[in-house]
Structures are given as structure tokens and as C-alpha cells.
Structure 1
Amino acid sequence: MVNRSFVQHRNPPTSRFIIRKSFSPFAVTLFLIFIFASSIFVFLFCTRNILEDEQKPLFSKPEKFQSKPELKSVDHLWNAPSSYGFHPCVKPTSRYEAAQTSDHYITVRSNGGLNQMRAGISDMVAVARILNGTLVIPQLDKRSFWHDTSTFSDIFDEHHFIKTLQSDVKIVKELPKELESIPHARKHFTSWAGFGYYEEIARLWRDYQVIHVAKSDSRLANNDLPLDIQRLRCRAMYEALHFAPPIENFGKKLVERLRLRGERYIALHLRYEKDMLSFTGCTYGLTNLEAEELKIMREKTPHWKIKIINSTEHRMEGLCPLTPKEVGIFLQALGYLPSTLIYIAAGEIYGGDSRLSELSSRFPNIVTKETLATEEELKPFINHASQSAALDYIISIESDVFIPTYSGNMARAVEGHRRFLGHRKTITPERKGLVELFDKLEKGQLTEGSSLSDHVQQMHKNRQGGPRRRRGPQAGIKGRARFRTEESFYENPYPECICKSKQQL
């Protein structure tokens, strides 16, 4: 039999013809043109997406987070070191008794500049407490290099000073008239004297009603004094010795102006002034004429020791203020940007603008009192160096970072106050180590860049103002000379006035 189903599915001759006819050359050409056009469209579309993707990171973040890594990279330059829970503690202990009325009086002539006088006055408050005497408001130094005629009330808030310490020491503005003409015991108290020394001095009350103190600076030991005496020194320095309202208010106004210029600023105590260079005998970077001028000035200043100073050796030991050029290199190596706002807390820089330009060429955003205030605003402070220094002190205390270029009285006072207020960031240059690096730069043995930065940053890793105990005398030094090598109480009032106990300010 024939399979019909098979015969039925076979294509007839006409059917085969029709299929061949549908794939004519013209149709094929149109089909190829369509495929080609489609390919070009797809290619262009995909290429655009590829180009757009190459302009974006693979794992892109929202726009508002893009700047965070950059900000974080400079935060460590401004952030204060951890205080580890330490806080001010200056309240008297339970054994402390209120001040007793006394008919014995202590008069004082405070010597030196502003911060030398502040430390001396705070010491005299403690001495008056030990001697159980009434303290007469101190007379300020008018004979030193600065020739400032300011009185106590011109610089300090006299009423606040007396009121704040009324439970500690009786303080009066003047010596009673009837005691002015009687014999006084005139004493030049021993430097860095301890509690026992003043117990011996108290015997003078048997023969005298008034003791006159010729100098006030460094009259008390830094260490080994009763806790209540140490805390009294802190109350005097940080709570009682407020600046006079005109100074305090104007100082705060200048701080506000700085904040308007930039959120954060460095207070740079650039101690490159004529008096300091003359006193230290540091002449590195100066002309022969300038060096001779400083030598003559030192020899003509009565209260400065006339001695031959080897400027090169002095500098190598780290005993000279950093020059403006060295400060610029130092700040750059630490990582501060050229746009950093820097307030110069100092008097006139020796060499003027030409020498200051060695710093401003690297950090042009430099300001001083003269650029922050008008001539009219500064007029009351002309010829009053201590009042002008008080403005620098206020601005330095409130700064985000304080950097002193020399360890003088102001540098020590500001550092100690910033420690007391919560260990605000204070970078103290390691001058001896820096001089070695600077000399290598000068000789071409080292170049500025990452290598120098690594050296400088490592050198100052633990010199940021964080909590630490006050340093004692240098090893190997005996006798009274060891007291001179101790760290100043007012430079670091820890542990007596800074602690972790529950007692608060």
C-alpha cells in the first residue's frame, strides 16, 4: 500500500518555486541594511554608557560624603589631645581653714613682664597665706626693659582679685597711712623657697609690722609644698587674676574677629623680638650689624648678665628662638596648609616685614593686633606693653592651637593655663632636634617633603599638650641649682591642680 499521509505532506512543485521567490536579492539587501543600522545604534548607546561609567568610581558615594576623607586627614592637626578624664581640682581640702584677720602687712614690688608678674603675684598670695599676713595690692614693675607705667588696676580686675581670695588671704588696696613711716623689714626672699623657709621668715613679725618684698618672681618652690598651698596658687593664677574689663572685653572681640576670618586658627608666639634675641645672644640668620646691635643692647641692660655667649653653640643646644623661616618649615612639615590662619602673638619682629616674609611666603594668611584692630582701638595700649601682652594672652588661650617658638614666661604661662582648661592643643617645638634637621636642609643632606615631615611629626608626637606629670630636676645636678632645672609649677600644675578625683573646679 501506498502511505498517503506521506504523499500529502510533500510540497508540490509550485510550492518550492514560491519559497525561492521570497528570498530575492532585493529583500536580502534590505534585511542586511536593517541589521547594520541596528548594530550601529546599539554600539553608540553602549559606548555612551561606558564613557559615563568611566567618569564615576565603581562604588560611588552620595555627593555629601565626598569631602569627608579630606577633612578627616587634617583634623588631627587641630584636635586637642585626649585629657583621659583629667579635670581642674582647686578646692581646698577639708583641713583648710578660712583666712584669719592680721595686723601684719606684706608689700610687694612685682618685677618683670606681664607673665613674670602674674606668676610672682600668685606666689605672693601663697606666701601671705603661709605667713598669715595681709597682702597689699602689689606695685608693678615700671623700671624694666618695657618701661610700662600701668598700675595693678590698669591690667587686672582689682575688685575681683580681692573678692575671689577673701577666704584665703586678706588683701587691701593700700598700706594703712599710720604704717607708712614705720621701719619695714625689707627682704629679698630666696628663690624657689620651701614651706620651712617661710616659717623662719614669720619670726620677723616679732620686730616688724610690715615686710617689704623686693622681688616676686620664683619666690616659691615648684614642688614639695602642701597641697592646699599649691591649689591656692592655682586659684590665684586662674580664678583671681582676671584682666581688667576693658582688656578682657577687647581681647574677646579680637577673638571673634579671628573666628570670622576662619573657623580655626593657630596662635604663634613668635619670640623673635629684639629684647629676646639680645638676652639670649642668638644671632643666627642676622647680619653682622644686627648682631653687634644686640650685643650692645645686652651690655647696656643692667638686669641682664653681661656675658660672652657663643651663638652657634647656644643654637645647637636648642636655646634660641626659632627664626621665622624655621617656623615656616616646621609648620609645613607638621602638615598645616598654606591657607592656615595664624595669629602672631608677639611684639615687633626683629628685622621687620622683610624677616617676617620668610614665614608669610609659606603661610600668607597671617594676622596681628594691628591688622585685626583699628588705630583708634589700639591707641589705649600704646606704650603699655603689659596691657598689649594681655591681649596676646587672651587670644592665645582661646586659640585652637598654641605654638611657642621659645620657652619664655608667656609660653610657660599659656601652656599651663591651657593644660588647666582641659589640655587644649599646645605644640612645643623640640628646638634642639629641629636645628639638626634645619642644618641638614641647609647643607643639602635633606630635602623638604615626606622624609622631613616624617621626622618632624614623629619628633612631636608626644609634644601636643596632653596630660603628664610635671618634670623634676635634671639628673646629676645638686644643691640649689637643681631648682632652676625643674619644670615651672605654672607651666604644668599637674598633679596638684589637675586630677581624676570626684572633686570639681
Structure 2
Amino acid sequence: MTPQKLVERLRSRGEKYIALHLRYEKDMLSFTGCTYGLTKIESEELRIMRENTNHWKVKKINSSEQRMEGLCPLTPGEVGIFLEALGYPSSTVIYIAAGEIYGGESHLQELRSRFPNIVSKEALATEEELRPFAAHATQTAALDYIISVESDVFVPSHSGNMARVVEGHRRFLGHRKTINPDRKGLVELFDKLENGEVNEDSLPELVQQMHRNRQGGPRKRKGAASGIKGRARFKTEESFYQNPYPECICRSK
């Protein structure tokens, strides 16, 4: 079985599809300290995991502050509201490019209720076809990577190495549509919606305006912050792998 075969199977379900890099995985939530929408038992499980993971240096994290600063992965429910506000119909095929979703179907249902055509690797391939990949996390991730690069739209719910490299690869292939959620702005909107400060009918216009320039269009790579020198500048400049424009993208005369 090849990744291209899985892409063909995906397209047979609806021709076009969104690849959603849904970072709602146990290790990601534990590492970032993000517990919004989780039960007390789930939150405690994540806290214990963080405490017991020696190479994670930060142990005490304020989950609310993390979320308000846009440092948490969007929840499956928030992704559903986001995609719906962008105008995608409920019939849209969504491929979940991620590992096991924390809480399983109990949390994924929040997204599935809006977009029932959710597809995973396990739904596209047989157990026998996936067996050679099962013992190799990097090979499983490679499947998600290729399917994400080939998708009609790529949406990462959180920044990370894979999301950045997929975005850069898609730019290299012609600035394929990649929607980077403004997590900080969205959280503020979602909270206002929940508190009745924003009307549900006005949400699509607000979300679309917020993301008008966050859809993978051509733009030069952002440099380091002014006044920063040496190795520290690498932390403030945009990664070449995320945006190889203009050096590695040909432009017609």
C-alpha cells in the first residue's frame, strides 16, 4: 500500500478533502497544560503525565492563561465551529492527520456532529495494509504527511514541526491552500459567543475577516525581530521550512 493509494480512496469519497492536523493528543495536551473542555479526571491524568515526564521542564501551567494566549491546540469542537464559520458545508470530507485523539469519540463527536464525513487511516486502509507501519511511528506520521501535502486544504489545529513543514512543502508546490487558525483571536470570539456577546449569525463574517490573509498565499518569509543577534534570532524568525519563499519558489517572467 502506498500513501497515494490512500489519497485516491479519499478522493473517491468526495473528490476534495481537508487534511486536519488535529493535535488533540494526550502528550500534546499534557505538555502544553491545556485542559479546556476536559473532565477533572482527564485534567488530573494529564497533570500526572507532565509531572512524571522528566525532560518536560515546565510542570506548573495555568491552563486558562495558555488558552487565552493562543498556546493551546483548538479542541475538536472549536475546529468544527471554525470550519463551519469559514463556509465549509457539513458534507466536507475531513481526514484526521494525527495520532489517537485524547478521549476518543467522546471528544471527536463535537467535531463529527458538524462534519460527519470524518476519515482516519484506519477507515481508509485495512488492518493488514497498516500492519507494516504500526511499529514505526515515523512511518505512520509519513502517511499523514503525504496525505496532508496532497490535500485540497490543510488546517493545523496547533503549530508544530509537522504543521510547519507541510505548510512549507505546500508553498513550494504552488502555495496550496493552508489555513492557519488565529488561535488567540478565535478563543476570544468563541468565549464571546458562549457569553452571548457575539451573535451566532455574525460569527462567519468575523472569522472570515480574521483569516483573510492566513490561507497560504504568497508572502516573503518573516525575518528576525529587530535588534536581536546571534543564535537568539532563530527563535524570532520564520522557519525556512515553513516558508521557502522567495529563495526556493520559481516565479514566471
* TM-score (norm. length: structure 2): 0.95
Write out per-residue CA displacement over residues 99-131 of structure 1, whole angstroms, 9 at most, x where no aligned residue. Answer: xxxxxxxxxxxxxxxxxxxxxxxxxxxxxxxxx
Matches within 5 A, 1:410-429: 410-429=162-181
Residue 348 in structure 1 maps to residue 100 in structure 2: yes
> How many Å separate the matches in 1 of 2:78 and 2:204?
14
Matched, 1:455 2:201: no
Q: Which of 136, 150, 175 is equivalent to 1:384?
A: 136
Choose which of 465, 479, 489 in structure 1 pairs with 2:240.
Answer: 489
Aligned to 1:277: 29
Tell whether 2:150 aligns with 1:395: no
The 2-side partners of 1:479 and 1:496 are apart by 22
2:80 maps to 1:328: yes
Alpha-carbon separation, structure 2, partners of 1:288 and 1:255: 39
Kindly state the Cα deviation for residue 476 of structure 1 after the two structures are TM-superposed: 6.7
Tell me the equivalent position of 1:468: 219
Q: Distance in 2 between matches of 1:440 and 1:475?
A: 35
Give the match for residue 45 of structure 1: none
**Alpha-carbon distance in 2 for matches of 1:499, 1:404:** 26
1:364 Cα offset (Å): 0.3
Q: Distance in 1 between matches of 2:218 and 2:39?
A: 41
Measure, in 2, the Cα distance between the counterparts of 1:463 and 1:417.
16
Partner SS state of residue 261, structure 1: coil
Deviation at 1:363, TM superposition (A): 0.4
1:303 aligns to what?
55
1:287 and 2:57 matched:
no
CA distance in 2: counterparts of 1:491 and 1:430, whole angstroms: 16
Partner of 1:115: none
Map of 1:363 onto structure 2: 115
Paired residue secondary structure (1:489):
coil
The 5 A counterparts of 1:105-120 are none
**Larger-Rg structure:** 1
Is the alpha carbon distance of 1:317 and 1:353 closer, same or farther for their aligned partners in structure 2, counting shifts above 3 Å? same
Offset of residue 279 of structure 1: 1.2
Distance 2:16 2:36 in 1: 32
1:323: Cα distance to partner?
A: 0.2
Matched, 1:444 2:196: yes
Letter in 1 for 2:199: T
Matched residues in 2 for 1:368 and 1:254: separation? 10
Which structure 1 segments of 5+ residues have no match? 1-248
Q: Partner amino acid for 1:329?
A: I
Deviations 1:116-153 (A, max 9, x none): xxxxxxxxxxxxxxxxxxxxxxxxxxxxxxxxxxxxxx
Between 1:334-343 and 1:275-284, the stretch displaced more is 275-284
Counterpart-to-counterpart distance in 2, 1:336 and 1:289: 34
Q: Which of 366, 370, 373 is residue 125 of structure 2 equivalent to?
A: 373
Partner SS for 2:12: helix
1:482, distance to aligned residue in structure 2 (A): 3.3
Q: How many residues align?
A: 253
Q: Which amino acid aligns with 1:341?
A: V
CA–CA separation in structure 1 for the residues paired with 2:140 and 2:230: 38
Deviation at residue 483 of structure 1 after TM alignment: 1.9
Alignment of 1:73-472 (within 5 A): 250-449=2-201, 451-472=202-223
1:34 aligned partner = none
Query: What one-letter code is carried by the residue in structure 1 that aligns with 2:249?
Result: I
1:20-70 superposed Cα distances (whole Å, 9 cap, x missing partner): xxxxxxxxxxxxxxxxxxxxxxxxxxxxxxxxxxxxxxxxxxxxxxxxxxx
Q: Which consecutive residues of structure 2, in runs of 5 or more, have no partner in the other structure? A: none
1:501: Cα distance to partner? 6.3
What's the counterpart of residue 240 of structure 1? Answer: none
Deviation at 1:477, TM superposition (A): 5.6
- In 2, Cα distance between the equivalents of 1:476 and 1:407? 25
- Identity percentage of aligned residues: 78
CA RMSD of aligned residues (A): 1.5
